[in-house]
A and B are shown apart, each in its own frame.
Chain A
Amino acid sequence: MLNPDAAVPLEQQFVLSNLAPGRAQKRLAAGVVIGLLVALYLITGPLSGIQLGTVNAFVAVYATAMFVTDSVTAVLLYAQFSILRSRAILVIASGYLFTAFIVVLYVLAFPGVLAPNALIGGVQTAAWLYVTWHTVFPLFVIVYALTKDEDPAKRLWHGKTSTAILWSIAWTAALAAAAGFVFARGNAELPRIMVDPTRFGPNWPYLVGAPIVTVCTVAIAVLWLRRRSVLDLWLMVVMCLYLVEVPLSYYPAPMRFSMGWYAVRVVGFVSSSLLLSVLLYEITALYAQLLGAVRGQRRERQARLLTGDAVAASMAHEMRQPLTAMITTADAGFRFLDRDAPNLDRAKEAFRRIAADGHRAGALVGSIRGNFKSDVTQRESFDLNELVQEALSLGSSELQRHRILVEAEQNRQLPAVTGNRVQLQQVLLNLIMNAVDAMAPKSEPRVLTVRSEPCEDGRVKVSVADTGPGIAPTDVENMFNPLFTTKSDGMGMGLSICRAIIEAHDSRLWFTPNTPRGAVFHFTLQATRPTPAIA
């Protein structure tokens, strides 16, 4: 069995003929096969005594249904071929098209359906067409199974897919037509399968049963050895259905329009529509997944665009303050110089202040770069315990004011982490302050828990938990959108900027509900070394 990931390019893993079957699918397939065996036992055993009448119209209805389902399956598989360019898919599509053609000839040759005798050929023609149908389709399956895992150079079709499909249809039609011609013309010369239009002769097991059983068994074996995709799984089930038709046709009564014979038509229709149903179900499921992914992507992009706007807005505000100070101080400086007796000391002082504000603006620009360009040079290795303590002591006045109990155990096993210490302190402080704001209006026990623990993937997870009202389901989507706030005096920038900082550290910020109430915000940081630091 091949590794599906190695054999299939990433972007094609969502195409059905490449998709690996899930557990439920495998169970369903096994269920179908077991159900079939039970039906086989019932029909050949307890139900074998039931006599059924000869309904010629049944053959026409059966053939029409088979033709429609097989053609639709062929169309879907041709569509898959045009995406994947896999010759194997082209082969199996041709197989389904072949059965669609053959079933038309079968109904034309069946005695008493469209004419009192067979419309084409004679008594033997329909039976030989049945043999062809049930041996050639498994041959297509075998070729499919043998070609599907070849190396890409040979496996893939490099020409135009429409040309390939047209050639495939032409060859399949020619093959079916040739079979129809040979069996219609050779009715008299061919070995006799039928004794009369309804009864099978004694040669039936050798001329019909044995060839079908042989090719179907080989097909199942080859598919089993190379099983990988949803398509492989269900083709195996289809081959099992083909196999079951053999004993049902001959036992208990070796004749047409017996209980077993009708059962065979039903099994035949099931096998024909089985793959179609699976294909349609999978296509719908994949479509739903795709839709969900596109929606998610769109939401993510919108949130990002808004984050960009918010960053620009907050930048503009941050820059406005030192610029205002500089302009105002410059005005003051002019006024000190413009006096009849210029006050040089005050003017000098004004210049000093302008310079200081200029540096402040410069530092702001620098910090913006640091925040959003994920400046690697500013990253350092530090002890997360210390950072948590610092953030808590920075927020201690607020924590005390609202009488909030702080639970923050120092974890001595914690490895040192790498990141921009100042930014991460801001993130922690922001999360702590959010927790304080969430708990402030509540009279219940107010507990802030800050926990940090190593993860399996060489990262350290930091969680800030509160016992506030938690996050309303309606707010979940907007949570990280800038300008979203539940506080009357908040700007709503906090969480979106926290997320920007955490994402610049190649991590993410997320939240979960706290039990019994409240919210927990988490983020992870890269450990400097995978081994724990010496405490």
Chain B
Amino acid sequence: MTISAQTFASVLVFALVVHVVLLTCAYLIYVERKMAAYIQDRIGPNRVGFDFGLPILGFLKGCLGLGQSLADGLKFLLKEDYAPDRADKRLFTLAPVAIIIPALIGFAIIPWGGTATIPSFSILGLVHVTGGEVVLAGLNANIGIVYLLSVASLGVYGVTIAGYASNNKYSFIGGMRATAQMVSYEIPLGLSLLAILLVYGTLMPEEIIAHQRQHGWMVFAQPIAAVLFFIAILAEANRAPFDVAEAEQELVGGYHTEYSSMRFALFFLAEYAHMITSSAMFALLFLGGWEPLPFVSVFGGGAVHLGGGVAEVLLAVAVVGLKLAVLFGKAVTLVAFMMLIRWTIPRLRYDQIMMGAWQSVIPLALTVVVVTAAMVQWGRTDTLSLILANGAVFALMMVVMPLMPKYDPNRKIPLYGSRFNPMPGERVVTGPTVALAREDHPVRGSL
């Protein structure tokens, strides 16, 4: 059996990165709790070590609370897998699967280790690998970045199914909110991506990194697009201040109210995996990928040669590992920034999020796309010109914003049947009009 070098490398990288990401997810929960604790003048988890309650492992007690994630995972595994009687059992089980798969395949397109050449070799004489230049990414397809958008869209399904299948009103409202929000913010995501792809002129991640190596990071050239992209990935990942779908104060647990044990853990894991994926995407598109410095190339553009003597291979692996570490470090820093946001600012309301998307973010993103297209047409795509263009867009925004029609989003809307806020001319009925509102036990037939 003969397989190409790219397939071999892809499977290898995928298998590696999936595990790294899953482990990182588990420890990001720990990091988030620690971070929240320090913001709030607390200490955070600091008790659970790796001693498992055994005296013989007593020296592993404490460990800064690093055993917390392991303990949490085990706890989830040992909990009762509960589903409400009225839930749609099949969809109820499908939802966590539907949400974890897009989360785990999302980062396929990211070239974690740059490019490398590998020589031909065979494994145990059974599988023959043809040599050649490969991209050290989970997937080296010619659709490139578009893959990100398609996978991001898939994430909606898990949430929607979960909200519907639970047959719980809080879940249903949460699912609806999440659907509307994720769908809406997909457009600014796509538009801001378009604005930078116009500058790159390619969809391939490796070429995007090469472009940033030559011209500097895109976050300097297209700051508005970067901000919009970041807002969009926050909203796509259902993170604060866009976490209305799981707003504890309003919807208890939101779409995962009825979930317990490992099925709940999968939702949790998916959220963090989603954050890592989108942050890695941001690092790739705006922060120069695996290049550590903005305007200086450290690793150079050439492919790493994974062949020759043992020392050369080790050196090459070290370089690849460093690249991975740099890209991963950027991603984790961005995730930490997301956490900082979450523990600092309050949550927006559902309608404010939607209005923000449709009335501000999308028009602005569209403007950035048009201006960038004009700059490309003019042939001025260097960083300085783009910064000036961005400044012009910002100034335009500042001029236009006060001119937009204003209305108070917090005003009360008259509704039929309302006691204190009725429709004009409506006969107001005092006292509950539905038996349901009076009774603890719903009466059959009154519904």
> Do A and B actually bind?
no
Show the binding face of B for A, using Cβ within 8 Å: none
Show the binding face of A for B, using Cβ within 8 Å: none
